[in-house]
Homo-oligomer: A and B are copies of this chain.
Amino acid sequence: MPKTIDVTELVLRDAHQSLMATRMAMEDMVPACADLDQAGYWSIECWGGATFDSCIRFLNEDPWERLRQFRKLLPNSRLQMLLRGQNLLGYRHYEDTVVDRFVDKAAENGMDVFRVFDALNDIRNLRRSIAAVRRTGKHAQGTICYTVSPLHTAGDCVEMAEKLLELGCDSICIKDMAALLKPQAAFDIVKGIKEACGQAVRVHVHVHATTGVTLVSLMKAIEAGADCVDTAISSLSLGPGHNPTESLVEMLDGTGFETRLDKARLIRLKKYFAGIRPRYQEFLSNITGVETEIFDSQIPGGMLSNMESQLKQQGAGDRMQEVLTEVPKVRADAGFPPLVTPSSQIVGTQAVFNVMMGRYKVMTGEFADLMLGYYGETIGPRDPSVIALAVKQSGKSPINGRPADLLKPEWHELRDAAVAVPGCNGSDEDVLTYAMFPKVAPQFFTARDKGPKNLGKDPAAQAAAAAAPVKPPPPDDSKGPVRTTITYDVKCNGKTHKVTVAPAK
């Protein structure tokens, strides 16, 4: 009997986060849910920090309502989310009772599997949220952010897995957000965890496709005993996204492993999302091939596109290569944190600042906090001279304890602030939305009544927008409205006129 390999489908969360800037509207997900629910996946990843943020920032969707809809539309499936430990879905540490409240509410609204990670792999930042998940009776998946550095070894991953299991985690996830996990490392880590912690410990493997090698890594992880792997349906896969679900299924043919996924439903899902993808053309990642240079820079796909757009905003789109060279240096100065939200943004933004303004001439508040221990411990020592600059620029002192221990109970304060915002409905869910995105939540609360906004566009209309005119060159904002009239030189009865024309109907 072949061993069954479980699969987590990423199309509703990480796939569109990685490939189309997290812009997919719920409306475009609904028609796929019946097939997703019946295809035989172990879980459907559908919620996380970026999707929550995008819901209220761009799509005028209530992310809690989205979760409740998923619960209804995927009645037979485990719903899975990505939780940033003590950061929840935000970018700072929250006080413990806020963490508890968030997990309770997510579980209550339908979440089944909580994949909990900390950007620095600091186990102290994971304890409270894992305990909260366990108390709800839901699945707590302890996560190891995979990274490479002169200091990281497979042994570190095994040790961290042991600590996560001591916290009562139901499974372990190896999370490779930058496609750095090579086949042999995947094999060694999974094998190491199984040998040290027992064959019965469930190991999940999450990889991105950016470097082109990670489907091989999944094969080796499976050979080493991995129980579940993450993939995305092929029409929303590859590039900075993930390996194609269908390719995983075919890859295992005859190997003694099988997925038991329903291939006919996979083909339907592929075709469905192939139709959705062009609607988000303007948000699609520029990266389509493979990028093995990432093995040197260690920059995950999402971070790459963030930095690209930061540079473009500052009119410095041509300085990407300098930034790519700067990132590993900033990372070394900061003690080799893994690069994942929020550390990827913190390191990436500082690298952009260093290139634009000189090294550490201007330090972001977040980077100073990282240097001073306010995000937790890093695996390596942090550069003392940069710490000194952080002290000087921020006026703060370094800390050694668990960052959240510095926080006072804040739920009531957050609640008071939230309910004072026009449009807040007073629910715990709204308070949590406000707590995590205090700058964005107010405009969302006010606009919520207008209902969801689908940013997808008819591909024909987009093509038309991109087409006109041949000359003169398009105005600076090439993403502006569709131009339907153009001025031409027209020869009519032998005379040339400047005439404004519209396409014939």
Contacts and interface: CB of A to CB of B under 8 A. Distances in A.
Nearest to A249: B292
A185 interface: yes
A243 B212 contact: yes
A290 B468 CA distance: 32
A504 B472 contact: yes
A251 B183 contact: yes
A167 interface: no
Interface stretch (A65-73, A403-411, A437-445, A482-490): A482-490
A234 B238 CA distance: 14
Nearest to A257: B184
A313 interface: no
Contacts of A288: 288
A160 to B, nearest CB: 20
Interface string A147-176: 000000000000000000000000000000
A272 interface: no
Contacts of A250: 182, 211-213, 292, 295
Interface residues of A, number: 57
A464 B471 contact: yes
Interface centre among A235, A251, A288, A492 (most CB of B within 10 A): A251
Nearest to A496: B504
Contacts of A497: 492
Given A182-B254, A215-B215, A243-B212, A237 B290 contact: yes
B467 A466 contact: yes
Q: Kindly name the residue among A213, A254, A487 whose own CB sees the greatest number of chain B CB atoms within 10 A.
A: A213
A17 B288 CA distance: 20
A226 to B, nearest CB: 14
Interface in A458-505: 464, 466-472, 484, 487-492, 497-505
Contact of A213 (B212, B215, B491): B215
A234 B290 contact: yes
A322 interface: no
Interface string A339-354: 0000000000000000
A455 interface: no
A185 B252 CA distance: 11
A7 to B, nearest CB: 14
A238 B501 CA distance: 43
A292 to B, nearest CB: 4
A86 B308 CA distance: 53
- By secondary structure, the A interface counts as mixed
A237 B289 contact: yes
| Assembly stoichiometry (copies) | 2
A501 B501 contact: yes
Contacts of A503: 469-472, 488-489
A488 B290 CA distance: 43
Interface in A252-280: 253-255, 267
A242 to B, nearest CB: 11
Contacts of A464: 470-471
A211 B469 CA distance: 38
Contacts of A237: 289-290
A330 interface: no
A184 B504 contact: no
Interface in A229-244: 234-235, 237-238, 243-244
Nearest to A497: B492
Nearest to A237: B289
B499 A247 contact: no
Given A219-B219, A289-B234, A504-B471, A246 B212 contact: yes
Nearest to A295: B250
A291 to B, nearest CB: 8
Contact of A289 (B185, B235, B492, B498): B235
25 contacts: A184-B255, A212-B215, A212-B238, A212-B246, A212-B247, A216-B251, A219-B220, A235-B289, A244-B289, A249-B292, A250-B292, A250-B295, A267-B293, A288-B288, A464-B470, A467-B467, A470-B503, A472-B504, A487-B504, A488-B488, A488-B502, A488-B503, A489-B502, A490-B490, A490-B499
